[in-house]
Structure 1
Amino acid sequence: MARADKKGKGGRNRPQRKKPETAAKNAPAKPEAKGKTGDLWKRGVTWANSPVGKAAAACCATVLFLGTVALVTVYVLNYKKHTQKLEAEQRIRDFANTYYPKWNSLNDYGKFAMVVNLSDYFVNLTLLNDELQLEIDDVRQKLNSGWKVFRWNIYLFSNDKVSWAAAVNRCQEVNTNLASISTKEEQLYVDTEVKNQKGTFWIGLKKNPKKPRGLGWVSGEDVKVTYWDSSTRQPDAETGEDCVLVEKVCPLLSCWHDYPCFLQTNYVCKKSPDPKFMGAMP
């Protein structure tokens, strides 16, 4: 019994070895994993050869082709722009050096700035020439309508008779002013024309206590010299005679008379050249 117990005890403590069949069952199934990968590849090939797969491949190829074309186009356009920029910069340098040799001492930024300023000047000059042409056409039309020339100015001695305020409006309607007198020679010219036409003519002068000498031209100029008819004690002290005209019967350079502004008489319009057309070109 003792041997049996010992054997039995020893049998219980001794580790049991696994049978070869059991170990083989528990080993990793490598061939099966390789088989799955092969199946996936076969499925992929099958899908690629299917109509859907071929369509997807064609779509990807088209997208890739269009993307390549787009990249090439962008590169070519940028290259052309860069080339044109370099050519334009060189032309600017050549122009600057030719137009004004003193610009040779300037760096590129200085030359470019001078050329930009010059181009702005030419643009403004072009616009100014357009305005000048309109001004010339206007003067030509006025001269054909009976306006008279004295030095830089042209004058209209009207045939119709209106009040002083209406005369101001009539002159403004043709882009001029009721005449102002700025020099002795101009006053002599107006006096002579008034005598030749044997009338009385409103000029753009009105009494204004807020202005120097108590008078103001409608053009906004200050009254520097007066040409009142002292032989009749002009201006007289009668109230309501606030507007000034040139009389036909008076000594030359002494023909200003004040009259009520509602008086209906002839008038003189004056057009002077725009100062912006009188400047010398650089």
Structure 2
Amino acid sequence: MEKPAPTKPAKPTKPTKSTKPASPEEAPVEAEPPATITDEKTERVETPTPEKGAESIDNEAPRKDSATAAAAAAADETGASGFQSMVAFITSPTGERFVVLEIFILTAMTLLIFLLYQKEMKKREEIQMAMNMIRNFVVGTDKFYEDKDDFQILAAAQNLSEEVRYLVKRNDQLQKEIDILTRNLKDGWVIFSNSFYLFSAELRSWMDSQRKCEREGAKLISIETLEEQFFINHEVKSRRKFFWTGLFKDKEEVWKWLSGKLPEFQYWNFYSPHDELNHDCTAMSFDCVDGCWMALECHLQMPYICKKVPDDAWL
């Protein structure tokens, strides 16, 4: 029996290449993964496909760990390089000068703060000493303030200060008055009841006497009280002279003082006043008993009596 002849394997046929590209309609279409949309404010969430979803989820954590490790390594390298740069800068001549300057500035600032602190403490001590002195003064003046606080003590001290200023001002005024008194007394003025009187030694007419008194800041005397009249009588009799006064007769034949006041009392001599012509001015007589006013002619030459009263005009 004859053996069948072995058959040769068939040669594989080469695939024929298509010379015409596939049209888009004929290209295989990959299925898009389904997406889930929630609302306008939420992002589109991609649902992993069964083929690559699990693989991407499994590889996500290692990728994050490797990125974190790379960042940490880069940071360590940067920190190390920065530290080395800082050490290099400090050890350089410029860095040494910079360090010395920083130390000098810190030392100066520390010293300045210490000095300011010392000055502030000294100022507080001085304020406290002054406050203690004020308290001792106020309490010594009035025991009522012994248990009061500092604000009440300062208020009381301010009141006392104002009183002291007033007293000082008043003392200055009194000193001026004393100086005026002393000067006037040396010039021949006589004081009585807070007024000054000058009994002149020179002889003048009534009109000239009035002008002379005005130059002294005074007027011919106006007698206003009986006490003043008795004082004038005593001074005139002790000098034994006639003296002009400020009593005269005006155009209406009315007797009045130069101050404009009418006489409140009459002290005429027994034969005065009379109606003789031109007897319009009054003088004080020294040889009188009950009355010493005498009406005489104004041109006669005789001494005069000036009077001035202390006030703001002459102080």
Q: Please tell me the TM-score bracket, short chain as reference.
A: 0.5 to 0.7
1:215 aligns with 2:215: no
1:257 aligns with 2:299: no
Q: In 2, Cα distance between the equivalents of 1:56 and 1:92?
A: 53
Alignment-derived partner of residue 5 in structure 1: none
Alignment-derived partner of residue 62 in structure 1: 108
- Superposition deviation, residue 171 in structure 1: 3.0
1:269 aligns with 2:309: no
Q: What code does the residue aligned with 2:226 have? A: K
Alignment-derived partner of residue 170 in structure 1: 215
Alignment-derived partner of residue 200 in structure 2: 158
Runs of 4+ in structure 1 over 6 Å off: 104-115, 237-240
Work out whether residues 153 and 271 of structure 1, in 8 Å CA contact, stay in contact via their aligned partners in 2. Answer: yes
Bigger helix fraction: 1
Equivalent runs, 1:10-49 vs 2, <5 Å:
27-28=70-71, 29-42=74-87, 45=90, 46=92, 47-49=94-96
Q: In 2, Cα distance between the equivalents of 1:196 and 1:90?
A: 59
- Superposition deviation, residue 268 in structure 1: 1.1
SS at match of 1:89: helix
- Which segments of 5 or more consecutive residues in structure 2 lack a partner in the other structure? 1-13, 16-27, 29-50, 60-65
Q: In 1, Cα distance between the equivalents of 2:249 and 2:106?
A: 91
Work out whether residues 272 and 293 of structure 2, in 8 Å CA contact, stay in contact via their aligned partners in 1. Answer: no
Q: In 2, Cα distance between the equivalents of 1:110 and 1:253?
A: 66
Equivalent runs, 1:52-91 vs 2, <5 Å:
53-91=99-137
Q: In 2, Cα distance between the equivalents of 1:140 and 1:257?
A: 35
Work out whether residues 209 and 220 of structure 2, in 8 Å CA contact, stay in contact via their aligned partners in 1. Answer: no
Shift in CA distance, 68/233, structure 1 to aligned 2, threshold 3 Å:
same
SS at match of 2:291: coil
Equivalent runs, 1:129-140 vs 2, <5 Å:
129-140=171-182
Shift in CA distance, 264/117, structure 1 to aligned 2, threshold 3 Å:
farther
Query: Relative contact order (C-alpha < 8 Å, sep 6+): which is higher?
Result: 1
Q: In 1, Cα distance between the equivalents of 2:212 and 2:105?
A: 83
Shift in CA distance, 226/107, structure 1 to aligned 2, threshold 3 Å:
farther
Q: What code does the residue aligned with 2:210 have? A: A
Structure (1 or 2) with the larger CA radius of gyration: 2
Q: What code does the residue aligned with 1:171 have? A: E
- Superposition deviation, residue 159 in structure 1: 1.6
TM (norm. structure 2) is: 0.54
After superposition, the CA RMSD in angstroms is 4.9
- Which segments of 5 or more consecutive residues in structure 1 lack a partner in the other structure? 3-8, 18-22, 98-102, 275-282
Alignment-derived partner of residue 7 in structure 2: none
SS at match of 2:304: strand
Q: Which deviations, in whole Å up to 9, do the C-alpha atoms of 1:81-105 show, x marking residues without a partner?
A: 13532453244224312xxxxx489
Q: Which deviations, in whole Å up to 9, do the C-alpha atoms of 1:217-273 show, x marking residues without a partner?
A: 54x888533434462335x597894x654355766434153765x776422134667
Shift in CA distance, 76/132, structure 1 to aligned 2, threshold 3 Å:
closer
Shift in CA distance, 75/104, structure 1 to aligned 2, threshold 3 Å:
closer
Q: What code does the residue aligned with 2:293 have? A: C
Q: Which deviations, in whole Å up to 9, do the C-alpha atoms of 1:186-211 show, x marking residues without a partner?
A: 323424544554544333456689xx
Q: In 2, Cα distance between the equivalents of 1:34 and 1:104?
A: 70
- Superposition deviation, residue 38 in structure 1: 1.4
- Superposition deviation, residue 65 in structure 1: 1.8
Q: In 2, Cα distance between the equivalents of 1:256 and 1:44?
A: 120
1:224 to 264, 271, 286: 264
Shift in CA distance, 195/86, structure 1 to aligned 2, threshold 3 Å:
closer
SS at match of 1:72: helix
Q: In 2, Cα distance between the equivalents of 1:222 and 1:189?
A: 20
Q: In 1, Cα distance between the equivalents of 2:153 and 2:110?
A: 46
TM (norm. structure 1) is: 0.59
